[in-house]
Amino acid sequence: MTKTILLTGASGYVGGHIIREALARGYSVRAVVRTEASGTKTKAQFADAGLSYVVIPDISTADAYEGKLDGVTAIIHTASPFVLAPKDNVKDLLDPAVKGAVAVLEAAGRFGTSALKRVVFTSSFAAVGNFGAPDYQPGRVFTEADWNPATWDEAAATTNGSFAYCASKAFAERAMWDWMKEHPSVAFDLVSLNPAWIFGPYVTDPAGIEQLGESSKAVYAVLGSDKVQDPDFCGCADVRDVADAHLAALETPAAGGRRFILSHAFNWQRAADASREAVPELRGRIPEGTPGSWPETYTVDGGRAVEVLGIRYRPLTETFGDAYRQLVRVEGLS
């Protein structure tokens, strides 16, 4: 019997790579999209009989999934609001993230069949790190045992959109684990993946630079910059490795009930060094900085995913080399 994945956030950066990898492994994918136009575009992008879509304009309630889970053997929930300049932190970020996450589990419990065995949630290192710390936290090693310590009141009141977003990921993930504890008799289990900053190429070239997501905008902004940016998030994962991890999370029995950080060492100087090596034709546009030199910062331990899920992290030369080659093509279209 063909295994069918229900995938939220299917039209997104990560979602596209998950679709491609899942289809390549012989899965059927039922993509959740907000509009008919988005579904048509997503289906045309892959042109594979194993891909279908369902339109759910609002994923914040379990009722929206009624009739959508027939035959589904697994759910991958990647959809979550990504707003770095919210007008209202609670309305634009916190509530939608939590409600959308819990709704998936409630829907799985109410409408899923006995064939549904696992839900994989795309959380984030944002749910792990301490982003209110005043410095780089040198010597600190973050693992799956750590949680972002932000409180709801802090996240609701902050004027720092990035802080609020990071908190929203923690609240959403905690809400899912709490739901699972409160419903121990359900037939499925939960896996959470916590990737750090995600870089790498899109499945297909975007129509123009204006179509880039936040991480790709940050990579593109390096071109022509006069200096290497100071460290910010000190871990990253290639989008293709993140997609691989989602499928491995479905296929690895030992993954059930666990969190997995997806990350290896990153800072902008490391990225500059790797990029200048991978795409030497862009050395005139990528600042050199001080090769091999950066301040001591916290580190992110992504080893559990290697050990349990069996993934391998692509080197930065591959991630940024492929990203820049695509960005240059897209730049020529803009």
- d(C-alpha 150, C-alpha 70), whole Å: 38
Give the C-alpha separation, 26 to 112, whole Å.
21
* Cβ atoms of residues 16 and 44 within 8 Å: no
Angle between helices 13-24 and 36-46 (to 10 degrees): 50
Inter-residue contact 192 to 126 (CB < 8 Å): no
Residues 160 and 74: their CA atoms lie apart, in Å, by 35
State whether residue 95 is helix, strand or coil.
helix
d(CA 95, CA 102): 11
Catalytic residue status for 91: no
What's the gap between Cα 186 and its chain centre? 26
**Which H/E stretch holds residue 328?**
helix 316-333
User: CA 118: distance to chain centroid?
Assistant: 18
Query: What are the angstrom distances between the C-alpha of 7 and each of 16, 29, 70?
Result: 10, 7, 14
- The alpha carbons of the chain give a radius of gyration, in whole angstroms, of 20
| DSSP secondary structure code for residue 281 in this structure | G
Q: Calculate ∠ Cα 315-317-321, nearest 5°.
A: 130
Residue 29 · residue 2 · CB < 8 Å = no
Residue tagged active-site, from 3, 68, 99, 169: 169
Q: Record the tokens describing residue 6, joined without a space.
A: 């229900």
Show which residues are catalytic.
169
